[in-house]
């Protein structure tokens, strides 16, 4: 028992030391991949990735390689880690269109929708999910995909119904507006021509 606790402490110390010495994308991503069954390391690693992504364009470019690790955490980890991973995805998705495309291509939007549907009582998870999905809708083609699927609309409406707080309401309304705008073709636009062909 003591040996297992010492091993976990060493693993956490290794990751914390990596983060303290500055952002080393490969080190944190490698830790997330290596210690995939250690929820505390996953939670901390997702948090570090989210913080780096909030450091501007350079930070967002630096964490693109972490998208698969974040999505694995969204799909496989306990709810606290899922919340942290979705929050990190929100920060990462607020970047360039190539980052949004990487997230959508890897199934990030569907993963967020699934987790939000599984944990409707978690206010923080719902907020992070609405924010991540809203960030993904800034690209018109991704918004169209989310609007066609309908899952994002369902979880947004459910979150807004279950959580009357202003943050969920604001994020939910923003997402629903983006989905509505994406679903309604504007006459004469490129999107209208795509729907008719």
Q: For the chain, what are the domain ranges?
A: 1-99, 107-186
- Written as one string, the DSSP assignment of 10-72 is HHHHHHHHHHHT---HHHHHHHHHHTTT-HHHHHHHHHHHHHHHTT-HHHHHHTGGGHHHHHH
Average pLDDT, stretch 169-176? 94
In the DSSP assignment, the letter for residue 197 is -
| CA–centroid distance for 17 within its chain | 25
Average pLDDT, stretch 80-101? 88
For residues 147 and 23, the model is more confident at 147
Tens digits of per-residue pLDDT, 58-73?
777 778 888 899 999 9
Q: Is the pLDDT of residue 194 over 80?
A: no
């Amino acid at each position: 028992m003591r040996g297992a606790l010492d091993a976990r402490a060493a693993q956490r110390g290794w990751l914390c030391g990596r983060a303290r010495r500055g952002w080393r994308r490969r080190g944190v991503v490698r830790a997330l991949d290596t210690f995939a069954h250690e929820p505390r390391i996953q939670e901390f690693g997702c948090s570090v990735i989210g913080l780096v992504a909030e450091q501007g364009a350079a930070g967002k470019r630096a964490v693109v390689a972490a998208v698969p690790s974040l999505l694995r955490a969204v799909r496989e980890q306990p709810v606290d880690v899922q919340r942290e991973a979705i929050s990190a995805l929100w920060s990462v998705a607020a970047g360039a269109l190539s980052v949004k495309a990487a997230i959508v291509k890897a199934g990030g939007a569907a993963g967020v929708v699934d987790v939000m549907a599984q944990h409707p009582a978690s206010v923080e998870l719902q907020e992070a999910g609405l924010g991540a999905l809203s960030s993904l809708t800034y690209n018109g083609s991704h918004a169209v995909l989310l609007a066609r699927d309908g899952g994002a609309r369902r979880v947004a409406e459910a979150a807004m119904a279950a959580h009357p707080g202003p943050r969920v309401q604001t994020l939910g309304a923003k997402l629903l507006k983006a989905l509505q705008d994406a679903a309604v073709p504007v006459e004469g636009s490129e999107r209208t021509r795509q729907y008719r062909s």
